[in-house]
Amino acid sequence: MFESLSERLNKVFQQLRRHGKLSAADVDAAMREVRLALLEADVHYSVVKDFISRIRERAVGVEVSEALNPAQQVIKIVNDELIATLGKPARLNLTGQKPYVIMLVGLQGAGKTTVAAKLADQLRNQGERVLLVAADPYRPAAVKQLQTLGDKIGVQVFTEDKLAPPEVVKNAYAAARKGGFSVLILDTAGRSQLDDSLMAELSAIHQKVPATDTLIVVDAMTGQEALNIASGFNKAIPLSGIILTKMDGDARGGAAISIRSVTGIPIKFLSTGENLDALESYEPERLASRILGMGDMLTLIERAETAFEAETAQVQAEKLSAGQFTLEDFSEQLKQFKKMGGVSQIMDMLPGGMGAAARMQSPETTEKGLKLTEAVINSMTVVERRHPDLLNASRRRRIARGAGTDVQSVNRIIKQFREAQRMFKTFKKSGRHGLQGLMK
């Protein structure tokens, strides 16, 4: 989402680094470029005005003029002020009497139903007993979609036909208390636009159950309109937080920077993909780091820890330390890698230099390469994966046909695998083991 903005800001920073000392004119020129970059990213003009004013005030003062590296000091100031603009992190309110009620509201198409499942999955993994409530009888297949998602993550879904949503929610709350559920997540109805009937229904639901959190789900790709939507809902029912969806899209990203300052409502989560585990807690420092092209290694590490199951990782580490590495292991690593998100998302989390190097090859090309590698390995028999030496010319032709590619592509993938295999054998001989060896 922030790729264009990051590129623009990094060009400004590169210009600043060329100056040994920074004059007021240098700072003004840089701030003009930063202002334009933010406005083009659809950041609200009042937020941009205050942001630039605060940076300039600090950048022309003693803080920069007496710094050993003035340009780096300005970048630090931009980072500090961006974090301040993004606001403090906010967490779910899981306090008081159980079941805790999380009410999701928003317009149609924002992704409420998918977010409800993502949130349920996350809370279930944290040890909570979650009940999803289908409170949207209007959108075709909304109830069925929630049931399908509930089955996928192993979370029960409460439904009742021919009852108005406020009554459904009231009965679900009673059932949750009786059934020993600790969290109730309400997937409420949306509309194509704000209207009185929607707000009346949401107010009625709010009066039926004691919501500990009322979160608005907003599509980040709507730009500044997201601010108006959040403000409109907040006038009708008290919102405690925001969930921004489609943060992996090609929108300009201004809503994420503006929404806290304009509405005063804290952001609690970012939805960063279609997978049910693609829901991140809002961390302003990490988001600012991504926007400024500094990467987000902490989130990348956390995703890796979640994706790579401990038992599988341990078995693979033992194989690598023993110098063993088969195509079957290679296939398993590809599956774990895919759980971390798309290639473009992973590259966005790499710090500037590493990310730029990774982007020399487009994410689309890399993604295709991974899919082709997976298809080639899946076209092999189990014996062939475990014993690649068996792959003679006729077997390679059969594998190529099965994967829908040519023999040259199969040969290239096997060659890459051989190189990786040799590398791990080298680590074993030198006394360095597995991935730890790469760090020495």
Q: Rounded CA gap, 90 and 283, in Å?
A: 9
Provide the pLDDT for residue 246.
85
Domains of the chain: 3-86 (1.20.120.140), 100-293 (3.40.50.300), 300-438 (1.10.260.30)
- Predicted pLDDT of residue 64: 64
Distance, in Å, from the CA atom of 200 to the CA atom of 120, rounded to the nearest integer, reads 26
pLDDT digits 0-9 by tens, 132-174? 999 999 888 899 999 999 999 999 999 998 899 999 999 999 9
* Residue 287: Cβ within 10 Å count: 24
What pLDDT was estimated at residue 437? Answer: 40
Q: Which helix (H) or strand (E) holds 225?
A: helix 225-236
pLDDT for position 436: 40
Alpha helix (H) ranges present in 350-439?
352-358, 363-378, 382-386, 393-403, 407-429, 434-438
Dihedral sign for Cα 84, 86, 87, 90, please: negative
Predicted confidence at residue 432, as pLDDT, reads: 44
What residues pair up with 280 in beta bridges, in sequence order?
Answer: 270
pLDDT digits (tens, 9 = 90+) for 303-345: 555 555 555 555 655 655 555 667 877 777 666 666 655 555 5
- 160-166 long-range contacts (CB < 8 A, ≥24 apart) are 164/201, 165/135, 165/136, 165/137, 165/189, 165/201, 165/204, 165/205, 166/201, 166/204, 166/205, 166/207, 166/208
* Dist. CA 323–CA 68, nearest whole Å: 48
Rg (CA), the chain: 26
pLDDT of res. 222 = 81
User: 235, exposed or middle or buried, with CB in 10 Å at 0-12, 13-18, 19+?
Assistant: exposed
Residue 38 gets the label, from left (phi > 0), alpha (psi -120 to 50) or beta, of: alpha
| Phi, psi of 191, deg, nearest 5 | -135, 170
Please state, in angstroms and rounded to a whole number, the distance separating the CA atoms of residues 231 and 94: 24
CA atoms within 13 A on the CB side of 349: 18
- pLDDT, residue 348, reads 55
Extract the residue ranges of the chain whose pLDDT is less than 70: 1, 62-68, 249-253, 293-325, 333-367, 423-440
Closest CA to 266 of 80, 84, 47, 90: 90
Helical segments of 41-164, H only = 45-59, 62-65, 70-86, 112-125, 142-153
